[in-house]
């Protein structure tokens, strides 16, 4: 078994709009969102406020990280490959990002530490980095790409692996879970529900449970791609 598997930190982030409604946006940001919304419209009848409710969470300039699921592989007492997961949350986004950064920095001496996420290179990794900078935090080494050569960046993206060089389409984690017969993380909610559950239902615990399940699916997917199974 490849010992580098035990140096992978699986992660998944959940995000929500920074403000509950468009009307609560600071005045300086409203025209900036209006401009972005004009490019996002696929239905001319939609207003900037309606698009804000649907899309603001996925843009780091208008959204926030509300929880981060992490996981690592280990050998259990039966000598089977298993996964330990934890979902981070805090009273503020800054404290949450500090928690995550501290965990990653503790592995700084291990150059083999790898961060793994689905669509991580397009979403999770840059979103975390941007929100850290917005919150006045120093980037941990694992996210600081400045001056690094491509082979020095220890990021694993399961969607990129599945593309095999094909850049034409997006493949969701849930679809790949179905393809590989991995139980879905989508039960009571899906990613599309997170902003509503956070702002309208105020149910962060439900989101954390969903986030933790996503980490489990992610780990199983990577191992399936390597011809391995995981005992959960």
User: Looking at residue 131, what is its pLDDT?
Assistant: 98
Structure-derived torsion over alpha carbons of residues 85, 89, 94, 95, reported in degrees to the nearest 10:
-90
Tokens in use for 227? 């011809």
Tell me the per-residue pLDDT of 148-160, one tens digit each, with 9 for 90 and over: 998 889 999 999 9
User: 3-state SS string over the chain?
Assistant: CCHHHHHEEEEEEEEEECCCCHHHCCCCCHHHHHHHHHHHCCCCCCCHHHHHHHHHHHCCCCEEEEEEEEEEEEECCCCCEEEEEEEECCCCHHHHHHHHHHHHHCCCCCCCCEEEECCCCCCHHHHHHHHHHHCCCCCCCCCCCCCCCHHHCCEEEHHHHHHCCCCCCCCCHHHHHHHCCCCCCCCCCCHHHHHHHHHCCCCHHHHHHHHHHHHHHHHHHHHHHCCCCCEC
Residue with tokens 């679809």: 175
Q: Would you place residue 232 in the very low, low, confident or very high pLDDT band (cuts 50, 70, 90)?
A: low
Locate 41 and state its tokens: 């419209």
Using CA atoms, how far apart are residues 187 and 183, in angstroms rounded to an integer?
10
Residue-wise pLDDT tens digits, 11-31: 999 999 999 999 999 999 999
Q: pLDDT at residue 48 above 80? A: yes
Residue matched to tokens 């559950």: 197
Q: What's residue 41's pLDDT?
A: 77
Give the model's pLDDT for residue 140: 93
User: Residue 108's pLDDT is what?
Assistant: 65
Give the highest mean pLDDT range of 40-44, 128-132, 172-176.
128-132
Tell me what the mean pLDDT of segment 38-44 comes to. Answer: 78
What mean pLDDT is reported for the chain?
91
Q: Where does the pLDDT of residue 190 fall: very low under 50, low under 70, confident under 90, or very high at 90 and above?
A: confident
Is the pLDDT reported for residue 143 higher than 60? yes
Whether 166 shows a pLDDT value over 90: the answer reads no
pTM of the model: 0.93
pLDDT tens for each residue of 69-125: 999 999 888 888 899 999 999 989 999 999 999 999 887 655 578 999 999 999 999
| 63-75/8-17 β-pairing | antiparallel
Q: Compare 22 and 229 and report the one with higher pLDDT.
A: 22
- Residues 124-147 have a mean pLDDT of 96
pLDDT mean over 164-185: 89
């Amino acid at each position: 078994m490849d010992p580098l598997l035990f140096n992978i930190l699986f992660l998944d982030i959940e995000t929500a709009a920074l403000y509950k409604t468009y009307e609560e946006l600071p005045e300086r940001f409203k025209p900036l969102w209006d401009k972005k919304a004009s490019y996002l419209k696929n239905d001319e009848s939609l207003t900037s406020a309606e698009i804000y409710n649907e899309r603001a969470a996925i843009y780091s300039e208008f959204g926030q990280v509300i929880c981060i699921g992490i996981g690592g592989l280990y050998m259990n007492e039966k000598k089977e490959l298993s996964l330990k997961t934890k979902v981070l949350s805090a009273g503020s986004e800054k404290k949450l990002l500090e928690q995550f950064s501290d965990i990653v920095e503790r592995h700084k001496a291990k150059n083999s530490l790898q961060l793994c996420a689905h669509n991580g290179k397009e979403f999770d990794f840059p979103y975390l980095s941007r929100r850290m900078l917005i919150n006045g935090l120093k980037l941990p080494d694992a996210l600081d790409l400045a001056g690094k050569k491509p082979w020095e960046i220890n990021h694993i993206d399961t969607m990129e692996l599945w593309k095999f060089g094909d850049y034409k389409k997006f493949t969701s984690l849930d679809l790949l879970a179905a393809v590989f017969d991995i139980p879905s993380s989508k039960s009571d909610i899906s990613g599309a529900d997170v902003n509503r559950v956070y702002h309208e239902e105020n149910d962060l615990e439900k989101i954390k449970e969903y986030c933790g399940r996503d980490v489990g699916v992610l780990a199983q997917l990577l191992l399936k791609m390597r011809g391995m199974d995981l005992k959960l």
